Amino acid sequence: MNIYACSDLHVSPDVFLDQTRVFLEEAAERADMTLLCGDLFEGSWFPLKESVSHSNGQELWTLIKAQKKPVVIRGNHDWTLAKYIQDPDVRIHTHFEFEADGVRYYATHGWAEYDVPFGRLAPYYDKILPILSLLAGWWTARKSPGTLKRKKRTLQYWRVVRRTSDRAIFHCMKMSREAVLQNVKARRVPVWGHTHHRHIDEYEYWLAINCGDFVEQDNGGIVIEDGVPRLWKQQA
């Protein structure tokens, strides 16, 4: 099975990278399943309704609909996406579990499951987000995701990324280390985004995959072919 996975496209009236188009066009042609792991539309720096209704948002949804089997997962920036897109052909998930090539996967954005304390507030996110935006002030509100992510990444930032990865792994285990050692087949491979840091972590008894983002160049997309993951690269 050929699986393409991405996250954090943050498509808005101001943001739609060419790489996003290339990835989704290639996925439509080659993928048996396309995982879209949240923050596909920008709903913090722009109103989500505006991002969805803009020509960029409409183009993105057309590309998503072109996939053989699109799996759309909402993220913290587009948590209320189902309010603005009612499409009988594409369901919007909070997470998605499936098995392919003998591997069990757990696809999510990473926010509601792993981030504390906001994870506990996920059902009320659409009400909390406007308040958080006001508290953040005018400076934050004027910054796009790309601008923020170009800031120097500190040691603390990477510690947060690492902790998020660890929580993703342990959430998917849902069992003790001893149980994992005794029953390796019971493990699930987490596939997520949110941290904007693409990586494939290989451990002795499990695997963890982060899709990265398409706000920065050359930092997004995963391809899983017959159970073997690799970083996606745009063909020359």
Q: Give residue-wise pLDDT tens across range 36-46.
A: 999 999 988 88
Look up the CATH number of domain 2-231.
Answer: 3.60.21.10
Kindly report the length of the chain: 236
Would you say the C-alpha torsion 53, 197, 27, 109 has a positive or negative sign?
Answer: negative
How far is it, in rounded angstroms, from Cα 233 to Cα 236? 9
Q: Give residue-wise pLDDT tens across range 146-165.
A: 444 445 556 666 666 666 66
Question: Please, what is the average pLDDT of the chain?
Answer: 80
Domain positions in the chain: 2-231
For residues 212-217, give the mean pLDDT.
Answer: 83
pLDDT band at 181 (very low <50, low <70, confident <90, very high): low
Q: Give residue-wise pLDDT tens across range 112-133.
A: 555 555 566 666 665 666 566 5
228 membership: H or E segment, kind and range: strand 228-231
0.85 exceeded by pTM: no
Here the tokens at position 25 are: 């066009």
Cα angle 66, 86, 145 (rounded to 5 degrees) comes to 70
The CA dihedral of 68, 209, 195, 118, to the nearest 10 degrees, is 90
For residues 61-69, give the mean pLDDT.
Answer: 98
Count CB atoms within 10 A of the CB of residue 94. 15
How far is it, in rounded angstroms, from Cα 159 to Cα 152? 14
Question: Is 206 a residue whose pLDDT tops 90?
Answer: no
Cβ atoms of 27 and 222 within 8 Å: the answer is no
